[in-house]
Amino acid sequence: MAGHGGTERSQWGDRVAGDQRRRIHVGRLFGGNARLTAAEGKKTLAGLQSHLVQAQTEEHCRNRRRCQRCGAQRPLKDIRPRRLTSLFGVVEVRAPRFGPCRCGVASRRTITPVAEIMPDRCTPEYERTLARMGALFPYRRARSLLAEFFPLGDVPEVETVRQRTLQVGARLEREAVRPIGAKISPGPDI
C-alpha cells in the first residue's frame, strides 16, 4: 500500500521507504511468544524427518521396481512396514518387496529396496552417536543423555546402546585389519 511521500506500509502497518528493507516483527507474527520449547522443537524435527524419509524411500522403491535389463516393472510381492530409527525419532515406512522380473535375466530373486538403503534399520548418525556415547559413558548414562538431547521418541534400552557400541567397535577393528582395496562387508542385520 502506498502512503504519504512515497513511503509504503507493510501488511503489519510499518512504514517502509523506497529501498529500505522490510522488517518482520516476529513478536507480532506469533502473538508476542516467538519461543519454541525443546519438546516442540523435537516434535518439529521428527515431523520433518518423517516426511523426508518417506518421500526418499518411495522414490527409491519406484526406481528399483523397474528391471534394469528390460525396463518392465517387477511384480509386487507384498508391502511390509519397516521402522527406521534416527536421532530425530522413529519413522515407519512402507517397504514393498518385488518379485523377480518376468524376463528372468537381471535378477531371479525377490528384492527389498528399503533394506538396501537402511540395512541396519537405523541411520549412520544414530549408530555413530550411540556408539560414541556408549564408549564415553556408562551405558545407562549414555541412554539418559540421548533422551535429554535428542527427540528419539522411544529411548533405546541400555542393552541396545551396549550392542550398537560393540558392533561399531567390531566393524572398526575389521576395517583396521582389512587389506587395502578389499571390499567392506556391512556386517549382520539387526
> What pLDDT, on the 0 to 100 scale, is given for residue 96?
92
31 and 50 both lie in a single domain:
no
How many residues can be counted in the chain? Answer: 190
Q: How far is the CA of 164 from the CAs of 126, 135, 145, 158, 168, in angstroms?
A: 10, 10, 16, 10, 6
Per-residue pLDDT at 187 exceeds 80: no
The domain tally of the chain equals 3
Per-residue pLDDT at 41 exceeds 80: no
Q: Percent of the chain having pLDDT more than 90? A: 4
Q: Percent of the chain having pLDDT more than 70? A: 73
Tell me the average pLDDT across 79-105. Answer: 85
Q: Of 45-54, 103-112, 152-161, 174-183, which has the strongest mean pLDDT?
A: 45-54
> What pLDDT, on the 0 to 100 scale, is given for residue 120?
81
144 and 108 both lie in a single domain:
no
Q: Which three cell numbers stand for residue 13?
A: 502497518
SS3 sequence of 71-114: CCECCEEEEEEEEEEECCEEEEEEEEEECCCCCCCCCCCCECHH
44 and 113 both lie in a single domain:
yes
Residue 184 lies in a domain: no
Give the residue numbers spanning the domain of 77: 38-118
> What pLDDT, on the 0 to 100 scale, is given for residue 59?
92
> What pLDDT, on the 0 to 100 scale, is given for residue 162?
86
30 and 47 both lie in a single domain:
no
What's the one-letter identity of residue 119?
A: P
Of 66, 97, 118, the last residue of a domain is 118
113 and 129 both lie in a single domain:
no
48 and 87 both lie in a single domain:
yes
Per-residue pLDDT at 140 exceeds 80: yes
